[in-house]
Chain A
Amino acid sequence: MASQAQLSFDRPDNRTLIVRLAGSWRVADGVPSPSAVQDELESDPPVECIRFDTQNLGAWDTGLLIFLRKLQDGFANRQVEVDAGGLPEGAGRLLNLAAAVPEKKDTGKGAKRTSFLAMVGGEVITAVASTAEMVRFIGEATIALGAFLRGRASYRRSELMLIIQECGAQALPIVSLISFLVGLILAFVGAVQLMQFGAQIYVADLVGIAMVREMGAMMAAIIMAGRTGAAFAAQLGTMTVNEEIDALKTLGISPMEFLVLPRMLALILMMPLLCLYADLVGMLGGLLVGVGMLDITFVEYFNQTVGAVDLNDIALGVVKSAVFGVLVALSGCLRGMQSGRSASAVGVAATSAVVTAIVFIIVTDAIFAVVTNIIGV
């Protein structure tokens, strides 16, 4: 008998208004607007007393309560006597419950408009503070590294090994795939241009130098930023949420040495190896295009590559990759340690770790490019 909600009025005498509710009053079925009652109140002669008649009221839920609450708000600034006796008992009690604790006004939330200037100022203050925090973090990491070099850092060797495995051997498949394809793509791009001059043999130079100087280190670093940097941030963030970092601090164990140091060491050690590996696999990708498409023999391609790439180029790539390793580890750990104490904050920390790491990697790479150009490496 899910009949529509019905609202009707009755004026048994001049001063009384009876509001009749009938049918089913449920949120899902739609509920009449309280404005009809307001209109009725406006009419002459003025109403002084309101009663409810709910004899034909069917099922009701929150829909009815919302209707009544809006009515109450309307009555508040009117001299009307409301007799809630006719309402279903449960509804009356729920309304009293909702009104039991007065609305808290000064919660400091909501409509607080700040001017544009204040907003800019606030952002600047935040940016300065976060830069200071970052510098402090880097300083603390350096101190931890110093303690490690003097053999006085407290960390667990087994944990370091685990992280090395995690960010070394286990990263090989994805590094293989990406660098192979990058080598292949470089060869294709070069081949199309160089074939116009019949100089396709120089594809070997192009792929070799580009992989060794730039792309090997960069691709490995970006993969590690997405893979390991985010993982570091999520791990440390969750440890913050669980008070595990607090537990370390109260034991006087420095989280810098215990957590950040092994992660940094693992990446410093593994990134150069991953970079060399990526260089090699990338050149294999180029080789495939050269031999398969450009009619260069394997030996020719090999000799051309050996002639083009010298040890300085390789060394440059390896040094860069170690620096990138530090950047990935530091941004992952920094964001993880800064993480707030909630699940969404950990997600934000992981995202922000990847973004920070990639920005730093690209900026550092640009600095390297300029500096090596000036000193002629």
Chain B
Amino acid sequence: MAVDATKQEAHITVRNLTMAYGDFVIQRDLSFTVNRGEVFIIMGGSGCGKSTLMRHMIGLKTPAKGEVLYGEKDFWAADLEDRQRMMRHFGVLYQSGALWSSMTLAENVALPLEEYTDLSPNDIREVASLKLALVGLAGFEEFYPSEISGGMQKRAGLARAMALDPDILFFDEPSAGLDPISARLLDDLILELRDSLGATVVVVTHELASIFAIADNSVFLDPETRTMIAVGNPKTLRDESEDPKVHRFLTRGESTLPGE
């Protein structure tokens, strides 16, 4: 979906972000903007800090330097209560699904609703069923996470991420561990949700097929120089990027730039 350039509005702004574990810097000087309603990809080779970057954006790790802005608001400068209020507008799908294993799928989806809405138990049950139906898991309400397959766990995790109708959906490696068809279906679901909910979507992945299928914009992290080396639409980057690393990544190493 081509976003009209004149209507672009920054939803998430990352400014001069440096991430570190103690003294060990993982990535430095990251600056990029995610516009409202676009699918934004965080990509890069294994171990470059993609998931860590996402953990900084969703409030699980404090940046060593720099800021993350949602709209105009500085996320990490806000106090804990404000931050939690902002976090309620996120839905996060973790790599393993991260469903709470002691609860059924319906209870998993219902928990955020119980916490943050005044709905009656009956309504909550209906909302939970609907969200599960949206991801193709109608009829699985009373199953425990350990009783369903990995792909189903991911979809149930997505249902939970959507429970509060979030403005922003974060996905950590959505297609990892899925067969190509399930991965494709999940990609379609992501696009469908973006279009119907109008949500902004941030995806951490290195799955090229997914990247080209869903991305509007992306950032490329490089583990060697420990910073970002490209921003833009992945297709444009593939065709036009001058950087050999970006080019090699986006072509699966199959073609090299002239002069290399």
Measuring CB to CB, which residues of chain A are less than 8 angstroms from any residue of chain B?
154, 159, 162, 238-239, 242-244, 246-253
Contacts and interface: CB of A to CB of B under 8 A. Distances in A.
B112 A251 contact: yes
Nearest to A249: B60
8 contacts: A242-B98, A244-B98, A246-B55, A249-B59, A250-B58, A250-B60, A250-B87, A253-B115
Given A249-B59, A249-B60, A154 B115 contact: yes
Interface string B97-128: 01111100000000110011000000000000
Nearest to B92: A250
Nearest to A254: B84
Interface size classification for chain B = 20 to 34
A247 B84 contact: no
Contact of B101 (A154, A244, A250): A244
Interface in B60-107: 60, 84-85, 87-88, 90, 92, 94-96, 98-102
A296 B160 CA distance: 67
Among A154, A239, A242, A253, chain B packs the most CB atoms within 10 A around the CB of A242
Contacts of A159: 102
A303 to B, nearest CB: 50
Nearest to A252: B84
Contacts of B92: 246-247, 250
Nearest to A246: B60
Contact of B99 (A244, A246, A252): A244
A250 B59 CA distance: 7
Nearest to A241: B96
Given A238-B101, A246-B55, A247-B100, 18 more contacts: A242-B96, A242-B98, A243-B96, A243-B98, A244-B100, A246-B92, A246-B98, A247-B99, A249-B59, A249-B60, A250-B87, A250-B90, A251-B87, A252-B85, A252-B88, A252-B115, A253-B112, A253-B115
A244 B60 CA distance: 12
Contacts, number: 51
Nearest to A245: B98
Contacts of A242: 96, 98, 101
Contacts of A246: 55, 60, 92, 94, 98
Contacts of B55: 246
B107 to A, nearest CB: 8
B123 to A, nearest CB: 18
Contacts of B90: 250
A243 B95 contact: yes
A253 B92 CA distance: 14
Nearest to B112: A251
Nearest to B91: A250
A154 B115 CA distance: 7
Contacts of B88: 251-252
Nearest to A248: B100
A318 B84 CA distance: 40
Nearest to B84: A252
B98 A247 contact: yes
A242 B59 CA distance: 18
Contacts of A247: 92, 94, 98-100, 160
A104 to B, nearest CB: 12
Nearest to B83: A252
Nearest to B107: A156
Contacts of A250: 58-60, 87, 90, 92
Contacts of A252: 84-85, 87-88, 115-116
Interface centre among A247, A248, A253 (most CB of B within 10 A): A247
Contacts of A162: 102
| Top-8 shortest CB links A-B | A252-B84, A243-B98, A243-B94, A247-B98, A250-B92, A244-B98, A252-B87, A250-B58
A251 B98 CA distance: 12
Contacts of B84: 252
A239 B94 CA distance: 13
Contacts of A243: 94-96, 98
Contacts of B98: 242-244, 246-247
A34 B60 CA distance: 55
Contacts of A239: 100-101
